């Protein structure tokens, strides 16, 4: 009886010590897991830099939407005396529709040999391209468009807008949560959108050359207009903005790595 009474506390002590160790071990494991899940919060200066880089990217998005929504991608001009009367015709079009503009020869600069520019007063007839709906090619001054190239340029432009929207969502989530985790996906989206925009411009230029080579009965002079300048500039700005997000997502400052302070201790 006495032996049972003595052994029982020893067993309880062992159990108590083991329970204490076990509880401490579980607490340590939980603490280690909690520390492993700890997310690095961004500082106020880093948040300001992200907002500045996002402003640069928004400029590229705005220029892209402006260029895609207008039809002044290319201007096709006849010689102003080609028809032999008091009027001449020119055409301009973009990704979605084309316009034929009739101008008076008297309003054109005497030193200019071509009909235009499009800013002069005249009669304009615009139509949307049918290869988006019925699949028919458009005919401009007896010249036929290449619908495959036009469709490819339009699809790439729409994909670039999709990537811009996804990048903007990532930046919004990063600023809302206060973590730089979403900066790398955002940089990928903006860089890819810039590349797609530039590819859209290149393919559109090839479609213009295909249009001009389809018929030689009417001489035409082509000139890429201000909408292409907007979209091309937007592509460069988007790629630059994506590179800024990559730099901001790094765990160290590239500027301090390249140009360390003189008083810093190595």
Mean pLDDT, residues 169-198 taken together: 89
- The residue among 170, 178, 171, 172 whose CA lies nearest residue 40 is 178
Task: List, for residues 195-221, the tens digit of each pLDDT value.
Answer: 999 999 999 999 999 999 888 888 888
Q: Nearest 5 degrees, angle CA 78-CA 80-CA 84? A: 105
Please report which confidence band the pLDDT of residue 243 belongs to, taking 50, 70 and 90 as the band edges. very high
What are 218's two structure tokens?
A: 């009417």
- Sequence-distant (≥ 6) Cβ neighbours of residue 213 within 8 angstroms: none
The pLDDT assigned to 254 comes to 55
**Pair 128, 96: CB distance under 8 Å:** yes
Quote the pTM value: 0.76
Q: Report the distance separating Cα 64 and Cα 59, nearest Å.
A: 9
pLDDT score of 35: 47
- Which of 156 and 83 is assigned the larger pLDDT? 156
- Other Cβ atoms less than 10 A from the Cβ of 167: the count is 27
Could you read off the pLDDT of 247-261 as tens digits, one per residue? 888 765 555 555 555
How many Cβ atoms from other residues are within 10 Å of residue 63's Cβ?
A: 22
The per-residue pLDDT for range 5-55, each reduced to its tens digit, is: 444 444 444 444 444 444 454 444 444 444 444 555 667 777 888 889 899
Round to whole Å and give the CA distance between 145 and 162. Answer: 26
Written as six digits, the tokens of 39 are 């997310």
Q: What is the mean pLDDT of residues 74-99?
A: 88
The tens digit of pLDDT for each residue in 131-164 reads 888 888 888 888 888 889 999 999 999 999 999 9
pLDDT of amino acid 255: 52
Q: Locate tokens 């590349």: which residue?
A: 195
Residue-level pLDDT at 16: 46
Of the candidates 130, 50, 158, 141, the one whose C-alpha atom is nearest the C-alpha of residue 90 is 141
Does pLDDT of 176 surpass 80? yes
Please count the CA atoms within 13 angstroms of the CA of 80 that sit on its side-chain side: 17
| pLDDT at residue number 135 | 80
- Inter-residue contact 49 to 196 (CB < 8 Å): no
pLDDT of residue 3: 47
105-138 confidence digits (pLDDT tens): 888 888 888 888 888 888 889 999 888 888 888 8
* Class for the domain spanning 44-250: mainly alpha
Give me the pLDDT at residue 249, please. 81
What lies within 8 Å, CB to CB, of 200 at 6+ separation is 153, 154, 156, 157, 160, 231
Averaged pLDDT of the chain: 80
Q: Which of 14-23, 52-61, 180-189, 219-228 has the lowest mean pLDDT?
A: 14-23
Instruction: Report pLDDT for 66.
Output: 94
Cα(162)–Cα(123) distance, integer angstroms: 36
């Amino acid at each position: 009886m006495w032996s049972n009474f003595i052994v029982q506390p020893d067993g309880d002590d062992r159990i108590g010590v083991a329970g204490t160790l076990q509880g401490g071990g579980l607490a340590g494991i939980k603490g280690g897991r909690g520390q492993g899940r700890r997310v690095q919060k961004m500082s106020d200066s880093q948040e300001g830099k992200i907002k500045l880089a996002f402003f640069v990217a928004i400029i590229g998005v705005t220029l892209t939407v402006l260029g895609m929504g207008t039809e002044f991608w290319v201007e096709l001009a006849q010689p102003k005396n080609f028809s032999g009367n008091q009027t001449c015709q020119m055409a301009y079009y973009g990704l979605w529709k084309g316009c034929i503009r009739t101008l008076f020869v008297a309003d054109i600069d005497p030193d200019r040999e071509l009909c235009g520019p499009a800013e002069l007063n005249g009669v304009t007839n615009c139509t949307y391209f049918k290869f988006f709906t019925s699949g028919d090619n458009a005919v401009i001054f007896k010249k036929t468009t290449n619908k495959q190239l036009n469709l490819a340029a339009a699809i790439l432009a729409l994909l670039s807008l999709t990537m811009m929207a996804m990048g903007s969502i990532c930046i919004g989530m990063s600023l809302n949560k206060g973590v730089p985790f979403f900066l790398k996906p955002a940089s990928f989206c903006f860089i890819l959108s810039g590349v797609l925009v530039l590819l859209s411009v290149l393919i559109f230029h090839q479609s213009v050359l295909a249009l001009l080579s389809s018929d030689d009965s009417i001489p035409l002079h082509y000139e890429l207009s201000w909408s292409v300048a907007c979209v091309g500039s937007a592509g460069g700005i988007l790629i630059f903005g994506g590179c800024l997000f990559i730099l901001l997502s790094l765990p160290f400052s590239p500027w301090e790595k390249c140009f360390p302070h003189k008083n810093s201790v190595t």
